[in-house]
Structure 1
């Protein structure tokens, strides 16, 4: 006949093993829930951070463009005053434009054309026509509006840039040409650098047709790569279809293949889109560290329980 201790010990061993397995299963479930919630929280936090950065940059860009537009309108008024005294000579036109440009540090050049598109103040460069430029034609078609060009290479100063333009009209109301401000992409890129996007993040300015105007990415070897192109990710197009003014999404950026949580916001008052992307890998490093600590804590508790079970079992055995 079996003794009580001979039947009790195997039963205790089974209970201890099953208890440890149950605790381990509970820890695995708890860990999975904690890790998933932590991942979702970090992604939501990254989205909100990107939205805040996009909003701040968009507001700053809008304010800068308004300042340039104020300069264009001030130049138009000065030209009207000169025109009231007769057709101003080219040196007077150039002086008026340069005086106004000096108040606009972001503007590379402030120029004036006649009705045919011929630049009246090309500086020390040969006179050239802008009649075929999109901004000239748009300003002529809508003389009451300020026009923003697509990104393009300058004919006088060279390099990639953006143009803001307004139409000139004579006393009879007829089109008399345009005034336009040239802003180099390097100037706009400097504004994007104010955003803390992390080691692999990016801040981007695009036209409403989604052509790349300028981009800042700390690890980008060629900051002008892709300017003038409109290659974007499908998630961006899908998000814009739902809300063209503001939104966010997660995808790999078409230009460099880096996965980012990206937020976008329309630049208020201007046909441009500001995007800020925060690399998921940058935030994932901190997430891995956090989840690693949680996992280590759970494993330690599990190890202590297992050790305690061994102690209980040994004490229950007869000497």
Structure 2
């Protein structure tokens, strides 16, 4: 029971620790979701504001007769104040051949051609490209993300590209306002798996495509969720949480498992260590007490056996017989017959005087073995009654059955006779149906009387308490 109680207590502690672990994981997931939502909202708002500026340029380039409007006025119309914000690069307009026509930062831009740029090719070849976010690169002497839109005529003809940029100082300032654990990360993916930004910042990772990663594909294809995996960039195991909106950039927040479960592992080691020590102590104490109790029980059993066993013959002694006959007498109140064999060694005193006490003791042991062989049922009781006298108690046995067993005992003793062991026994048999008015003494007296009659009739015979049913040996 002590071991089971210890195991139950350990199970409860383990369950509580697992609940704490789940709570820490859920708290980390919620905080990561909130962080991802905050970054996603800020990033989306800034891109949307800048995209509105690009759309405004596209629309005005179609609606206005730019050839007949002075450059100062055209700049005021095309380029709003949002485009001049801290993190936004100048907006530039290229014609269908890739030649620079307008630049929000100057009225007279230098001649240049960008027909070979990726963003130009994308819009030229794809009418439905929409807002295109280019690979991170150095744009106009600043590391930035290029944003561009196609200018499409009413007839569907490609008329050019409007290009702007979002400086990387925006990302650095944004992440600089947030607090991260050293092993946590925030990654911004483009929908094709290209890393647009990562905290901690590593220029070698920016612009790298992770589209071959199964985890990245899962993130980009799933609206929102979380997963635990080892990073392919720095091999740190993290829980990644993302908010995958319909926007072109996906924010993924990674929280290291060490930071999530660090304190939990400390608590687990402390509690687990204490539980281990207490369990060893409890189990050790239980085993010690169990061993001592077993030893005591064995000693008590041994003492009980010694108290109820005849030392010479090894069968039950008079004390044990008195207990058994009383128990069986009470059980016999259910109208069950109870028989008793009273067995006495013939001429034992002469045998003892002739061969000595040691030979006499050996003879008694042999006779006891013969009597015990007839006690075939668990309820039967073979005992030494005293001196050279033995008894065999037979519950639920009628007189005929008892006489049969008495003959077996007598015959078995006769067959022992060889050389000096020649001896016989006389057996008195009695059978009564116990009742509450009588007592075991009645059965003993009847069997003793029958034994006396067997002795009187010449020994080596079985006599029942009813003289008419006496049986003599051949």
TM-score range, shorter-chain basis? 0.7 to 0.9
Q: Distance in 1 between matches of 2:203 and 2:74?
A: 33
- The residue aligned with 1:4 is none
**Contact (CA 8 Å) 1:169, 1:175: kept in 2 or not?**
yes
Q: 1:275 to 1:240 in 2, by over 3 A?
A: closer
Q: Distance in 1 between matches of 2:95 and 2:19?
A: 63
Q: 1:22 to 1:249 in 2, by over 3 A?
A: same
2:116 to 129, 132, 136: 132
- The residue aligned with 1:112 is 93
2:191 to 202, 208, 214: 208
Higher-Rg structure is 2
**Contact (CA 8 Å) 2:96, 2:158: kept in 1 or not?**
yes
Q: Distance in 2 between matches of 1:188 and 1:146?
A: 23
- Deviation at residue 257 of structure 1 after TM alignment: 1.3
Matches within 5 A, 1:43-122: 43-80=25-62, 83-84=64-65, 86=67, 99-100=80-81, 102-121=83-102
- The residue aligned with 1:14 is none
Q: How many residue pairs were aligned?
A: 286
- Deviation at residue 204 of structure 1 after TM alignment: 0.9
**Contact (CA 8 Å) 1:197, 1:203: kept in 2 or not?**
no
- The residue aligned with 2:300 is none
SS at match of 1:139: helix
**Contact (CA 8 Å) 1:264, 1:274: kept in 2 or not?**
yes
- Deviation at residue 212 of structure 1 after TM alignment: 0.8
- Give 5+ residue unaligned stretches, structure 1: 1-17, 313-319
- The residue aligned with 2:249 is 272
1:245 to 223, 227, 240: 223
Give the TM-score normalised by the residue count of structure 2.
0.51
- Give 5+ residue unaligned stretches, structure 2: 290-474
Q: Distance in 2 between matches of 1:233 and 1:113?
A: 34
- Deviation at residue 66 of structure 1 after TM alignment: 0.9
Q: 1:80 to 1:105 in 2, by over 3 A?
A: farther
Q: 1:167 to 1:238 in 2, by over 3 A?
A: closer
Give the TM-score normalised by the residue count of structure 1.
0.72
- Deviation at residue 127 of structure 1 after TM alignment: 3.0
Q: Which moved more, 1:172-181 or 1:206-215?
A: 172-181
Residue 151 (str. 1) matches residue 129 (str. 2) = no
1:282 to 252, 255, 259: 259
Q: Distance in 1 between matches of 2:146 and 2:100?
A: 14
Q: 1:258 to 1:145 in 2, by over 3 A?
A: same
SS at match of 1:154: strand
**Cα distance per residue 1:136-169 (max 9 Å; x no partner):** 23333455653223323235x1344222212224
